[in-house]
């Protein structure tokens, strides 16, 4: 595949909130909404609210953990694959942007529960089978558990019939949310894309 096609596949797996499929995309979008409301609230000096309920520091911490689990489940195993030399045994001694992209894609797909593979049958080894299985399990259920904790904290609060200090409807908020999703994703993954598909 061309580098542009690979980058397009990576983008969907990195964001995990692009509409168009079943899964945890809607829940991940709510996490991005909470983080965006928190950051916008810091900029304008207002307490962030979502659905007329105040967002407290615990919600923001949980949302940040949900956001950070995904890159951790991709990047840490990728590093482990190289440090244990399991990547080199499958792809050869010399690491190139193409081979690094294959390893990054393997764990991105596993963490996003995407189901696609970029290493093919060469990854049919105990290390790759076990590591991707654990990443699939953690990549699906760890964020859902934290998202349920966020939802549980919202169910304990009373909704007030007042105007939200930061509007969560309209083109302005959609634009700010889209920019925040792009910035957070780019800051997290751009260095690794630069080492991989951008350099192919």
- Measured CA to CA in angstroms, residue 33 lies from 67, 85, 106, 136 at distances of 12, 40, 28, 25
**How many independent structural domains does the chain possess?**
1
Q: Is the pLDDT of residue 1 over 80?
A: no
Q: What is the pLDDT of residues 106-151, one digit of tens each?
A: 999 999 888 788 888 888 899 999 999 999 999 989 999 999 999 9
Q: Which string of b and e fits 80-108 if b means at least 16 CB within 10 Å?
A: ebbeeebbeebbeeeeeeebbbbbbbbbb
Domain span at residue 55 reads 3-199
Residue 57 pLDDT: 92
């Amino acid at each position: 595949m061309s580098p542009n096609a690979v980058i397009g596949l990576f983008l969907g797996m990195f964001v995990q909130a692009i509409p168009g499929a079943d899964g945890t995309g809607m829940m991940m979008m709510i996490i991005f909404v909470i983080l965006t409301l928190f950051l916008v609230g810091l900029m304008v000096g207002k307490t962030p609210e979502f659905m007329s309920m105040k967002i407290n520091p615990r919600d923001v911490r949980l949302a940040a953990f949900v956001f950070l689990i995904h890159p951790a489940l991709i990047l840490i195993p990728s590093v482990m694959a190289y440090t244990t030399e399991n990547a080199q045994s499958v792809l050869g001694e010399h690491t190139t942007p193409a081979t690094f992209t294959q390893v990054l894609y393997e764990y991105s797909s596993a963490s996003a529960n995407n189901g696609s593979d970029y290493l093919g049958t060469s990854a049919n080894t105990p290390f790759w089978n076990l590591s991707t299985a654990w990443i699939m399990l953690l990549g699906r259920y760890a964020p859902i558990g934290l998202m349920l904790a966020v939802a549980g904290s919202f169910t304990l609060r009373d909704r007030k019939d007042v105007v939200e200090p930061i509007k969560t409807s309209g083109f302005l908020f959609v634009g700010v949310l889209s920019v925040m999703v792009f910035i957070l994703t780019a800051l997290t993954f751009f260095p690794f894309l630069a080492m991989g598909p951008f350099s192919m």
